[in-house]
A and B are shown apart, each in its own frame.
Chain A
Amino acid sequence: MSIQLPTYPQPDERGRFGRFGGRYVPETLIPALDELQAAYTEARNDPAFLNELERLLKDFVGRPSGLYLAQRLTEHAGGAKIYLKREDQNYTGAHKINNCLAQALLAKRMGKQRVIAETGAGQHGVASATAAALLGLECIVYMGAEDIRRQALNVFRMKLLGAEVREVTSGTSTLKDATNEAIRDWVTNVRDTFYILGSVVGPHPYPAMVRDFQSIIGEEVKVQHQALEGRPVPDAIVACVGGGSNAIGIFAPFAYLPEHERPLLIGTEAAGEGVESGKHAASVAGGRIGVLHGAMMYLLNDDEGQIVPPHSISAGLDYPGIGPEHCLYSETGVAQYVPVTDAQALDALQLLTRLEGIIPALETAHAIHAAVNLARTMRPDQTVVVNLSGRGDKDVAEVMRLLDLGREQDAAPTPRTPEVLA
């Protein structure tokens, strides 16, 4: 029996999650989006496609990823049991590969030989380049100049995998601008190019399709939590939110449960130097409704409609918007979105590393911080599942630079002890 892709009550047939989402793109792309939607609808009902996807997720990616009880982190927090959903165990190191393989399979099925992708942290770029190499597709990845600096290791991996990395120097030279450039490429080459979008953002059907491909994360949690705890639904789930794909992947299978059965769903937004500082990427806490990259969502933009450059210590969260389904969850109270600062994330990264021997991605570290704080307020018979969206290999050089900077300023002889451990 092959896997099934879940169906959810949102979005509506126009691609709206409530008032969010939609298709605000140049007319050139509308027929391509219709074509994509038709191809996806057909593929998701075709056992041949689903069998191939299942085979790759199992044998190539290594799914299912573990649901691991973090014993020492749990003791440290002193409350609910903290489980880690180990997306860092996936081949290529993050949840991004789930979606990339599925979209690349779809590209191949649609007869498109050229794929393009945008990337911030480089994880989506690496996953796209990997899927392209596996399936024999030409791959071009757009990446901001600033992110190319921060993520040199991933840039090299993409090139090694045979992808062309195109440096983007417009705007803020980060993820938002790489996304603009990828969309412009798609507008130009739409007839023979498939755009592998990396998160639950962009025009319909991307937010719905990427969610469906990522919801394997939450579906596995149900089965694993049942085996470990005797019930399928944890008490709380925490995940970091850039565009929001790892968070939707673990939230969606629970988000449409009746309210009294639903776990507490917490998304962590990158608060950078603090929401008040203006240097952050917290679109719910510090943004307002607007349109970017083809969808209506919470967005960092000024009162003239110009996008406000976001800031985060982690390239993968450095995005001025948040996926439309998250906007609906936030507006209706299905999930809550909390800001976590750069400093808190850096501390949480060290905390998890020292207590559990797991170096998380800087993105993921935002979720770890909130999960520890939350678990502390809960009972020992309760559970918190953190989506461990990716591993920190890509970030070690940047973290080393940041901790060294801190050391110079503090004139301290050794790396400082994380605040939460002190």
Chain B
Amino acid sequence: MTATLIPTTPGAARLHAAFARAKQEGRAAFIPFMTAGYPTAQAFPAVADALLGQADILEVGIPYSDPLGDGPTIQRASEQALAGGTSTRHTIALVKELRSRHDTPIVIMTYVNPIYAVGPREFMRLAQEAGVDGLILPDLPPDQDLEIADLAAEHGMAVTFLIAPTSTPARVKLVAEACTGFLYAVSVTGVTGTREGSALNEVPAMLALARQYARVPVAVGFGVKDAETAAQVAQVADGVVVGSAFINAVKAGQDVGALAASIREGCTQH
């Protein structure tokens, strides 16, 4: 995070404040992810409450039929949520309900097709009305569609694009400059999901590059699964995103709140 940080929208300001608060507490921001409507539409709010109890920012995924960037865990969670009737508009309604009980910033992760299907303007209107602070767009390189980012800004929200270990310096610059919420660095060449051992070797070099260009906080995700891997990432990143591990925990009937508390603890920076 740099001193030149200029929030462009209310959503961006709230996200930046969350990163700043975490930093004051000596932590990287803890950003858990959960698929909306998982395990069921009825059970989701309690899962989200448990995560929000620990989170600096909550990331809620719109379940999608064809999630290109996701591994089997999130893909199956999406299929289950869709079968239970949760889709695009319902996700936004679920976030609205969470908003009425929580102050923690909430961002929506979505592939672009649901945005186009609802209509970009209508989608942004609904999201703004629900109190969404930002969007994470895993299949939208920022140079593909400038309209989405502009519309999000018009509706008070921040946008987050992603970089990967394969990104060239020119791409990192382009992506970093387009992000208004935070920059999301993907830790591995691969899809979401937990991995055997820790495969985070590429993170430090990527972050060093990202920090040359980013004017927003830099978070790292993919493959972070426990306090130990979170601690590794927290040494170099402003934020830590954890997704599949929570879905696995829900599936196994484990205490999601307790797992979240331990990973939040792991986010402590030394």
Contact = CB atoms under 8 A, between A and B. Distances in A.
Interface stretch (A75-83, A89-97, A300-308): A300-308
Contact of B140 (A24, A191, A293, A301): A24
Interface stretch (A25-33, A230-238, A405-413): A25-33
Interface residues of A, number: 39
Interface in B70-126: 71-72, 75-76, 79, 82, 87-89, 111-118
A289 B120 CA distance: 13
Interface in B162-212: 162-168, 171, 175, 186, 189-191
A302 B66 contact: no
Contact of B66 (A30, A304, A307): A307
B26 interface: no
B75 A304 contact: no
B112 A24 contact: yes
B138 interface: yes
A200 B175 CA distance: 28
A188 B113 contact: no
Interface string B130-141: 000000001111
B87 A306 contact: yes
B53 interface: no
B220 to A, nearest CB: 14
A189 B190 CA distance: 7
A188 B66 CA distance: 17
B130 to A, nearest CB: 15
A176 interface: yes
Contacts of B166: 28-32, 190-191
B38 interface: no
A188, A189, A191, A299: which has the most chain B beta carbons within 10 Å?
A: A188
Contacts of A24: 112, 139-141, 144
Nearest to A28: B164
Given A171-B66, A191-B189, A23 B141 contact: yes
Interface in B39-85: 64-69, 71-72, 75-76, 79, 82
A291 B145 CA distance: 12
Contacts of B66: 171, 176-177, 180, 292-293, 307
Contact of B65 (A14, A189, A306): A306
Contact of B164 (A26, A184, A292): A26
B19 interface: no
Given A30-B141, A31-B167, A306-B87, A187 B69 contact: yes
A183 interface: yes
Interface string A171-201: 1000011001001100111110000000000
Contact of B139 (A25, A190, A306): A25
Contact of A22 (B88, B117, B144): B144
A60 B117 CA distance: 45
Contact of B175 (A27, A188, A296, A305): A27
A33 to B, nearest CB: 10
Contact of A305 (B69, B72, B118): B118
Contact of A27 (B64, B82, B114, B171): B171
B119 to A, nearest CB: 9
A305 B167 contact: no
Interface residues of B, number: 44
A304 B88 contact: yes
B161 interface: yes
A382 interface: no
A296 B72 CA distance: 25
Contacts of A301: 113, 117
A25 B166 CA distance: 14
B121 to A, nearest CB: 15
B212 to A, nearest CB: 17
Contact of B190 (A177, A180, A188, A290): A188
Contacts of A4: none
Contacts of B171: 27, 30-31
A88 B75 CA distance: 38
A170 interface: yes
A170 B79 contact: yes
B135 to A, nearest CB: 14
A26 B138 contact: yes
Contacts of B88: 304-306
Contacts of B140: 24
A143 B121 CA distance: 37
A291 B113 contact: yes
B116 A290 contact: yes
A23 B191 contact: no
A304 B123 CA distance: 10
Nearest to A301: B117
Contacts of B165: 28
Contacts of A28: 164-167, 186, 189-190
Contacts of B64: 305-306
A13 to B, nearest CB: 12
Given A27-B171, A28-B186, A306-B82, A188 B191 contact: yes
Contacts of B163: 27
A69 B75 CA distance: 50
Given A27-B163, A170-B79, A291-B113, A304 B168 contact: no
Given A304-B88, A304-B89, 12 more contacts: A22-B144, A25-B141, A26-B69, A27-B163, A31-B171, A190-B166, A290-B113, A294-B139, A301-B117, A305-B88, A305-B114, A305-B116
17 contacts: A24-B139, A24-B141, A24-B144, A26-B68, A28-B166, A28-B186, A31-B171, A32-B166, A170-B75, A171-B65, A183-B68, A291-B112, A291-B116, A305-B88, A305-B116, A307-B66, A307-B113
